[in-house]
Amino acid sequence: MAEQTTNLKLPVDRMPALRVEPMPKDTNQYGAVFGGWVMSQVDLAGASTAMRYALSRKVVTRAVSSFTFENPIYVGDIVSFYTKIVKIGRSSITVQVDVYAERLTKADNSVDLVTQATLVYVCVGQDHKPITVQESRDQYFKEHPEFMLCLPEISQ
Ligand SMILES: CC(C)(COP(=O)(O)OP(=O)(O)OC[C@H]1O[C@@H](n2cnc3c(N)ncnc32)[C@H](O)[C@@H]1OP(=O)(O)O)[C@@H](O)C(=O)NCCC(=O)NCCS
């Protein structure tokens, strides 16, 4: 288990890619939230970040480079998934996901870092073969030239 994070606060300078409350059906036999549920949400958060950067839904998960469960999650927690693009390769986008639980059932509403993960997403074409990230973005602008000038730069 990670060191005590009692005084931890949610990041103030970042928006979470995903915020969700686990349900009783998401727990394991020990009463904490099932690790597979966390992995699924992490992948959704990471993928949405990669898709927004690639301006495409044709982005697939290629690798989970690291995944650590630092602290348990419980029903009643509000779980926030903060993402950051850490590398843009030729066809790949590497995303770091930091997951925090707000312990709303505790009197002090404390926050814990519960999971950290790094995942690699790859842009693919119609034939499911990798295409470059730039090709993916160019394709979007080819199909939607009207958005070329008005789309804000998305970094995450
Ligand atoms: C994604 C897929 C098309 C890529 O094909 P591929 O033959 O592996 O392509 P490449 O070897 O050229 O690798 C593509 C990129 O992934 C990176 N990559 C490959 N294996 C990796 C690994 N184990 N860890 C990190 N990055 C990896 C490569 O470095 C490359 O990045 P770059 O283009 O930025 O340099 C293919 O592997 C695939 O279909 N995988 C299944 C995807 C899937 O079903 N995901 C689950 C549901 S979304």
- Ligand 1 lined by 124 (C-beta under 6 Å): yes
Whether 156 has a pLDDT exceeding 70, the answer reads no
- Ligand 1 lined by 33 (C-beta under 6 Å): no
Give mean pLDDT, residues 34-59: 97
Q: How does DSSP assign 50-91, residue by residue?
A: HHHHHTSS-EEEEEEEEEEE-S---TT-EEEEEEEEEEE-SS
Q: Output the pTM of the full model.
A: 0.91
pLDDT given for residue 3 in this prediction: 46
Contact 93, 52 (CB under 8 A): no
Contacts of the segment 96-104: beta carbons below 8 A, 24+ positions apart: 97/17, 97/42, 97/45, 97/46, 98/11, 99/38, 99/41, 99/42, 100/8, 100/10, 100/11, 101/71, 101/73, 101/74, 101/77, 102/10, 102/77, 102/78, 103/74, 103/76, 103/77, 104/76, 104/77, 104/78
Q: Among 62, 90, 129, 134, which residue has the most ligand 1 atoms within 8 Å of its CB, making it the best to mutate?
A: 62
Q: What is the CATH number of domain 18-147?
A: 3.10.129.10
Type of residue at 139: Q
Whether 5 has a pLDDT exceeding 50, the answer reads no
Give mean pLDDT, residues 103-129: 93
Give mean pLDDT, residues 28-33: 94
DSSP E strands in 2-154: the ranges are: 18-20, 59-69, 78-88, 92-102, 111-123
Among 23-27, 65-69, 87-91, 106-110, the minimum mean pLDDT is found in 106-110
- Ligand 1 lined by 47 (C-beta under 6 Å): no
- Ligand 1 lined by 92 (C-beta under 6 Å): yes
CA–CA separation, 94 and 62 (whole Å): 10
CA–CA separation, 95 and 146 (whole Å): 29
